[in-house]
């Protein structure tokens, strides 16, 4: 255990850091396009398709992916194209959420199950807030993203939020405050 005084005096579930990470990443996935959806499937958008500008009016260039290697005195090196093409926006956001969540486990503060369940709890809270936004704004936005949770075949569940309602894989779910 990393903390010599021992484990904390509070209950392990829900993990606060994981809940907040789940909520924050869910909002990012909802506000930014992270998937290309067709009638038959949804595919995450690859990082390599994104562009950035060096200055506001310069020509857009593909975003470069890097790796920092401890073997070479922490020098930043360009990630090989074959590896960079595997990175997705959604995958990097999910990885960020999991890293924030799991950081507390290393110190003996939480269990892995606390973190994975709390990421989903944060997602549910964010989804409810996003559902409220769809009713409160004049634009009537719709949000669609893939969930942290998985179906029995291992594929992520699709979340659709519109007109104050939340749909998981096409099924309307009860999302009033007491249901959370």
pTM assigned to the model:
0.81
User: 2, 6, 9, 10: which one is catalytic?
Assistant: 10
Query: Using CA atoms, how far apart are residues 48 and 135, in angstroms rounded to an integer?
Result: 35
Reported as a single tens digit per residue, the pLDDT across 14-59 is 777 889 999 999 999 999 988 888 777 788 888 888 888 888 899 9
Active site residue 17: yes
User: 14, 17, 101, 175: which one is catalytic?
Assistant: 17
Active site residue 72: no
CA-based torsion, 18, 19, 22, 28: positive or negative: negative
CB 160 within 8 A of CB 167: yes
């Amino acid at each position: 255990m990393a903390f010599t005084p021992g484990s904390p005096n509070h209950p392990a579930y829900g993990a606060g850091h994981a809940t907040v990470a789940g909520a924050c990443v869910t909002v990012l996935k909802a506000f930014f396009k992270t998937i290309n959806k067709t009638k038959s499937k949804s595919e995450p958008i690859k990082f390599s398709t994104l562009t950035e500008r060096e200055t506001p009016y310069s020509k857009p260039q593909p975003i470069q992916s890097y790796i920092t290697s401890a073997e070479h005195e922490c020098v930043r090196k360009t990630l090989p194209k074959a590896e960079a093409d595997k990175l997705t926006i959604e995958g990097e956001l999910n990885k960020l959420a999991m890293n924030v969540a799991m950081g507390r486990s290393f110190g003996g503060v939480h269990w892995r199950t606390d973190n994975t369940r709390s990421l989903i709890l944060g997602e549910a809270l964010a989804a409810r807030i996003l559902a409220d936004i769809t009713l409160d704004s004049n634009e009537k936005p719709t949000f669609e993203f893939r969930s942290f949770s998985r179906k029995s075949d291992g594929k992520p569940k699709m979340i659709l939020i519109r007109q104050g309602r939340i749909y998981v894989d096409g099924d309307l779910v009860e999302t009033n405050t007491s249901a959370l």
